[in-house]
Structure 1
Amino acid sequence: MAAPASRLCHIAFHVPAGQPLARDLQRLFGFQPLAAREAEGWRQLALRSGDAVFLVNEGSGPGEPLYGLDTRHAVPSATNLCFDVADVGAAALALASRGCRVPVPPVSVRDAQGAATYAVVSSPAGNLSLTVLERAGYRGPFLPGFGPVPSAPGPSWISHVDHLTLVCTPGSSPTLMRWFHDCLGFCHLPLSPGEDPEVGLEVATGSGHGGLRLTALQTPPGTVVPTLVLAESLRGATSSQDQVEQFLDRHQGPGLQHVELYTPNIVEATEGVAMAGGQLLTPPKAYYQQPGKERQILDAGHKPSLLAQQGILLDGNKGKFLLQVFTKSLFAEDTFFLELIQRQGATGFGQGNVRALWQSVQEQVARGQEA
C-alpha cells in the first residue's frame, strides 16, 4: 500500500454561498461549530459531533480551500475524505509512483498551536478527492489556519462515523476496490460467507426493481477508519431509473451518497431530529407487517409501534441486531443524505434493511417520475 490511513480526520463538502448545510447540521443533527476560517472567497466551517467531523467549504474562491481541492462540481457535494497518515511526503511520492494524480503536493501550515502537512490526491471515484494529513502534536481545536468559534452546548446524539457509502457506475466496484487497497490499505470485508471480492454481495430487492451490488472495504486492525461501502445498481425489469442511477444522474457522476453516523440511542436521536424539523424516509408499511418482524423487534428490546412511528428499521437475529433510519436528501438536488445507525452486537449492514430502504426510496422515485 502507498499511504496506509490510520484515522479519518474529516469529511469535506463544497456548497455555494448561502446553502444551508452548515446550519442544518447544527439545527437538525446536533453538530457543534468547532473552528472556522474565512479567506480568499472561502468560508470554511468545521463542525463536530463526538468524533464525527464535517468541514463545510462555502463559496468559490480563486485558490484552493485549505486541506482540500476546489473540484468546481456542478452540484453541492461531499467532495473530500481526509485521512491521517504517518508521513505525508513519503505518502505523496508513493501515491504518485502508483500513477495517482497529486494536484496539491505537500503543503505545510503553521499557527500558534503547531503545524500540519497535507497533500491532496485525485481518486477514480468521480469528484471525490482524498487528503492525506500529518498533524502529530498539533494542539488546536481543529487544524492550523482555523480559529475557534463559540458554540452553545447542545444534544449529543452522534458518537462517530460508522461507515461511508460511495455510489459508483455499474461494473466499476472491482477497480475502485483495488485502488483503495493499493493506495490507502483498504481490504475486502466479506458481507456474506465465501463472498467473491470481485462480485461483492448482490441484494435483490424484488418487484422488478433490480437491486444493489455492495462491496465493503476496511482498513487493518488498529486504525480508526470507517468501513467504506461501494454500491452499484443491478438492473431490473423496469425501464425507469432506480435510486442509484438517479444519484449518478443528479450528482453528475459517482460520489459519496451517504454517511452513516453511529448513535448509542437511535430512538432518542431520531426523535430529536424529527422534533428539530429533520425529514426522515418512511419505510413501506409492509416492512413492519412482515412475518416475525414484531417478534424480532421485541427480542431486541424495542417496541414495534415506536419503531414504526419513527421509521426505524431493525434487522438481525440470535441476539445481534442492527437499527437504522435514513434522512431525506440534505441538498435540493436530491443526492446526499445521512443515516443514523445503532448496533446491538451486529457487525453487518442489514440485508433486510437494505431492501426496505431501496423500496421506500424507489417508491418516492416513482412518485416523482409520475408527477
Structure 2
Amino acid sequence: MAAPARRLCHIAFHVPAGQPLAQNLQHLFGFQPLAAREANGWRQLALRSGDAVFLVNQGVGPEEPLYGLDPRHAVSSATNLCFEVADAGVAARALAARGCHVPVPPVSVRDAQGVATYAVVSSPAGNLSLTLLECSGYRGPFLPGFGPMAYVPSPGWVSHVDHLTLACSPGSSPTLMRWFQECLGFHHLPLSPGEDPELGLEVAVGSGSGGLRLTALHTPTGRAVPTLVLAESLSGAAGGQDQVEQFLARHGGPGLQHVGLYTQNILEATEGVAAAGGQLLTPPEAYYQQPGKEEQILTAGHDPSLLARGGILLDGSKGKFLLQVFTKSLFVEDTFFLELIQRQGATGFGQGNIQALWLSVQEQAARLQES
C-alpha cells in the first residue's frame, strides 16, 4: 500500500454562500462549531459531534481552501475525505509514483499550537479528493490556520462516523476497490459468507430484476477509519431511475452519497432530530407488518411502536442487530443524506433495511414528481 490511512480526520463539503448545511448540522443534528477560518474568499467552518468532524467550505476563492481542493463542482457536494497518515510527504510521493494526480503538493501550515503538513490527491471516485494529513504534533482544537469557536452546548447524539457510501458508475466497483486497497490500505470486508470481492453483495429490490451491488472495504483493526461502501445499480430496475442512478444524474457523476453516523441511542437521537425540525425518510407502511418483524424487534429488546413512530429500521438475527434511520437530502439537488446507525453486535448493513431504504427513496421521489 502506498499511504496507509490511520484515521478519518474530517469530511469536507463545498457549498455556495448562504447554503444552510452548517446551520443544519448544528441545529438539527447536534453538531458543535469547533473552529473557523475566513480568508481569500473562503469561509471554512469545522463542526464536531464526538469524533465525527465535518468541514463546510463556503464561497469561491482565488486560491484553494486550506486542507482541500475546490473541484468547481456544479452542485453542493461532499468533496473531500481527510485521512491522517504517518508522513504526508512520503505518502504523496508514493501515490504520485503509482500514477495518482496530486493537485496540491505537500504544504506545511503552522500556528502557535503546532504544525500540520498535508497534500491533496485526486481519487477515481468522481469529484471526491483525498487529503493526506500529518498532524500528530498539533495541539489545537482543529488544525493550524483555524481559530477556535466559543463552546456551544449540544446534545451529542453522534459518537463517530460508522461508514461512508460512494455512489458509483455501473461496473466501476472492482476498479475503485483495488484503488483504495493499493493506495490507502483498505481490505475487502465480506457482507455475506463466501462473497466474491469482484461481485460484492447483490441485493435485489423492487419487482424488477434491478437492485444494488454493495462492496465493503475496511482497514486493519486499530485504525479509526470508517467502513467504505461502494454502491452501484444493477440493470433491470423497473419504474425509471433508482436512487443511485438519480444521484449520478443529479450530482453529475460518482461521489459520496451518504455518511453513516453512529449513535449509542438511536431512539433518543431520532426523537431529537425530529423535534429540531430534521426531515427523516418514512419507511414503507408494510415494513413493520412483515411476518416476523414484530417478534424480531422484541427479540432485539425494542418496542415495535416506538421504532415505527421514529421510522427506525431494524434487521438482524442470532442476537446481532442493526438499527438505522435515514434523513432526507441535505441539499436541494437531492444528492446527499445522513444515516443514524446503532449496532447491537451486527457488522453488516442489513439486506432487509437496504430494501426498505430503496423503497422509501423511490416513494419519496414519486411524491416529489407528483407535487
Q: TM-score by structure 1 length?
A: 0.99
* Structure 2 residue 116 is the aligned partner of structure 1 residue 116: yes
Residue 235 of structure 1: how far off its partner (Å): 2.0
Q: Deviations over 1:89-109 (max 9, x none)?
A: 110110000000000000000
Matches within 5 A, 1:59-138: 59-138=59-138
Q: Which amino acid aligns with 1:86?
A: A
What residue is the counterpart of 2:145 in the other structure?
145
The 8 Å contact of residues 206 and 238 in structure 2, kept in 1 or not, is answered as no
The 8 Å contact of residues 102 and 120 in structure 1, kept in 2 or not, is answered as yes
What residue is the counterpart of 1:277 in the other structure?
277
Q: Which amino acid aligns with 2:330?
A: L
What residue is the counterpart of 1:324 in the other structure?
324
What residue is the counterpart of 1:255 in the other structure?
255
* Partner Cα distance (1:222, 1:237) in 2: 40
1:220–1:237 distance in 2 versus 1, CA, 3 Å: closer
Residue 239 of structure 1: how far off its partner (Å): 5.5
Q: Deviations over 1:141-172 (max 9, x none)?
A: 00000010113212010000000000000000
The 8 Å contact of residues 41 and 60 in structure 2, kept in 1 or not, is answered as yes
Residue 208 of structure 1: how far off its partner (Å): 1.9
* Partner Cα distance (2:156, 2:240) in 1: 40
* Partner Cα distance (2:369, 2:252) in 1: 18
What residue is the counterpart of 1:180 in the other structure?
180
1:50–1:170 distance in 2 versus 1, CA, 3 Å: same
Q: Deviations over 1:303-326 (max 9, x none)?
A: 101100110000001111100000
What residue is the counterpart of 2:267 in the other structure?
267
Q: Deviations over 1:80-129 (max 9, x none)?
A: 00000001111011000000000000000000000000000000100000
The 8 Å contact of residues 209 and 242 in structure 1, kept in 2 or not, is answered as no
Q: Which amino acid aligns with 2:188?
A: H
The 8 Å contact of residues 207 and 238 in structure 2, kept in 1 or not, is answered as no
Q: How many residues align?
A: 371
* Partner Cα distance (2:9, 2:228) in 1: 15
What residue is the counterpart of 1:359 in the other structure?
359
The 8 Å contact of residues 166 and 254 in structure 1, kept in 2 or not, is answered as yes
Which of 259-268 and 145-154 deviates more?
145-154
Q: Deviations over 1:182-203 (max 9, x none)?
A: 1100110000000000000000
What SS does structure 2 have at the residue aligned with 1:151? Answer: coil
Q: Which amino acid aligns with 1:40?
A: N
* Partner Cα distance (1:201, 1:19) in 2: 36
What residue is the counterpart of 1:9 in the other structure?
9
What SS does structure 2 have at the residue aligned with 1:29? Answer: coil
* Structure 2 residue 340 is the aligned partner of structure 1 residue 340: yes
Q: Which amino acid aligns with 2:276?
A: A
* Structure 2 residue 297 is the aligned partner of structure 1 residue 304: no
Q: Which amino acid aligns with 2:278?
A: G
What SS does structure 1 have at the residue aligned with 2:158? Answer: coil
What residue is the counterpart of 1:235 in the other structure?
235
* Partner Cα distance (1:45, 1:209) in 2: 44
* Partner Cα distance (2:137, 2:333) in 1: 40
* Partner Cα distance (1:47, 1:370) in 2: 36
Residue 368 of structure 1: how far off its partner (Å): 3.1
Percent identity of paired positions between Structure 1 and Structure 2: 83
Q: Deviations over 1:18-64 (max 9, x none)?
A: 10000000000000000000000000000000000000001010100
* Partner Cα distance (2:40, 2:338) in 1: 30
What residue is the counterpart of 1:54 in the other structure?
54
* Partner Cα distance (2:50, 2:169) in 1: 33
Q: Deviations over 1:271-330 (max 9, x none)?
A: 000000000000001000000000000111111011001100000011111000000000
Structure 1, unaligned runs of 5 or more: none
* Partner Cα distance (1:209, 1:156) in 2: 41
What residue is the counterpart of 1:44 in the other structure?
44
Q: Which amino acid aligns with 1:21?
A: L
What residue is the counterpart of 1:25 in the other structure?
25
Residue 238 of structure 1: how far off its partner (Å): 2.3
What SS does structure 2 have at the residue aligned with 1:247? Answer: helix
Q: Which amino acid aligns with 1:36?
A: A
What SS does structure 1 have at the residue aligned with 2:28? Answer: helix
Q: Which amino acid aligns with 1:229?
A: V
Q: Which amino acid aligns with 1:267?
A: L
* Partner Cα distance (1:21, 1:205) in 2: 31
* Partner Cα distance (2:115, 2:265) in 1: 37
What SS does structure 2 have at the residue aligned with 1:115? Answer: strand
Matches within 5 A, 1:181-220: 181-208=181-208, 210-220=210-220
Residue 209 of structure 1: how far off its partner (Å): 6.6
